[in-house]
Amino acid sequence: MAWARGRYEVSIAADDSEIREAQRLRWLCFIGARQGGTAEGGQLDADDYDDRCWHVLIRDRAFGQLVACFRMLTLAGGAEIGDSYAARHYNLSRLRGFSGRMVEIGRFCIHPEWSDPDILRLAWAALARHVDDQDIEMLFGCSSFMGTDVRGYEDAFAMLRERHLAPRHWLPRVKAPQVFRFARALRLKTPDPRAAMAGMPPLLRSYLAMGGWVSDHAVVDRQLDTLHVFTGLEIRAIPPARAKLLRAAAA
C-alpha cells in the first residue's frame, strides 16, 4: 500500500529502518515532547508487538518527513483477542465471542509540530483500505489522553459515560493495577459538551463520530504518561455517508 493525496504520501514500512523511524516519532509524541526532547536524539518507543504489526507511515511529500504513523495487528476473530496489546491492560474476555476479523490500531501519533487535519483524514483513509482489503469487521485499540492526571478531563470522561459506553456484551473489564473508573466516579456529573470535546483526543473523536464505543474505565499508563480507554468500532456501525467519504479519500 503506497499512495499520495495532496501534499502527503501514505505507505507501509518496508524495512527495519522505516520501523525505527516510526519508533522515533512515537517516542517524540508520547514522551519526548513533554520532556523537551527531539526526534534527533535517537530515543525509541519500541516493544515486542512491533515485529508482528504493519506500520503505516504518512510523510510530507516535499521533504520526506514522517508526520504521522500507527501500527495495525490483524486478528482472525475474537478468539485471538488475548494476543492483542490491549489485552495486557484490559480483561477482554467478552470480545472472544466476536466472530469477524479484527484489527488493533496502536501507537497512533501525529508529529507535535504538525496540525493539518488532512493527516488524520488520510490515516482513516488508510484504515478504510485495509478494512476493505482484509474484510475487517471491527477496529479496536487504546485511545490516549495525555498525562495521568484526570483533572481537566472530567467533562470528556463524563461525556463518554453518558453517551459512548460499550454495549454490555462487549464491555471490557478491569485488569490493570491502576485505573480511573470514570463511569462510577462521574455518574452524577452532567458534561459540558464544549469542554468535553475540547478535552477529547482527536483520534477518539473520530472513532465516536463513526459509532465507536469505549470501556467504562481508563487505564493509568505511567510508562507512556497517558490515560487510555479501550475503544471499539464495529464496521457495520459506520454511517454510510462517512464510509463513502473514507473510501473516496483512499481511492
For 25-53, what is each residue's pLDDT tens digit? 999 998 886 665 555 567 899 999 999 99
Query: For all residues of the chain together, what is the average pLDDT?
Result: 93
SS3 call for 232: strand
- Decide if 1 is inside a domain: no
State the number of CA atoms in the 13 A half-sphere of 18 facing the CB: 20
Residue 249 reports pLDDT greater than 80: no
Q: Which domain holds residue 197?
A: 71-250
Average pLDDT over residues 167-179: 97
- Decide if 49 is inside a domain: no
Tell me if 74 sits within 8 A of 46, measured CB to CB: no
Residue 227 reports pLDDT greater than 80: yes
pLDDT value at position 4? 80
Closest by CA to 139, choosing from 169, 160, 170, is 170
- Decide if 31 is inside a domain: no
pLDDT value at position 1? 66
C-alpha–C-alpha distance, residues 97 and 82, integer Å:
12
- Decide if 62 is inside a domain: no
- Decide if 4 is inside a domain: no
- Decide if 139 is inside a domain: yes
- Decide if 66 is inside a domain: no
Question: Which amino acid, 241?
Answer: A
Range with lowest mean pLDDT among 147-151, 157-161, 212-216: 147-151
Count of domains for the chain? 1
- Decide if 3 is inside a domain: no
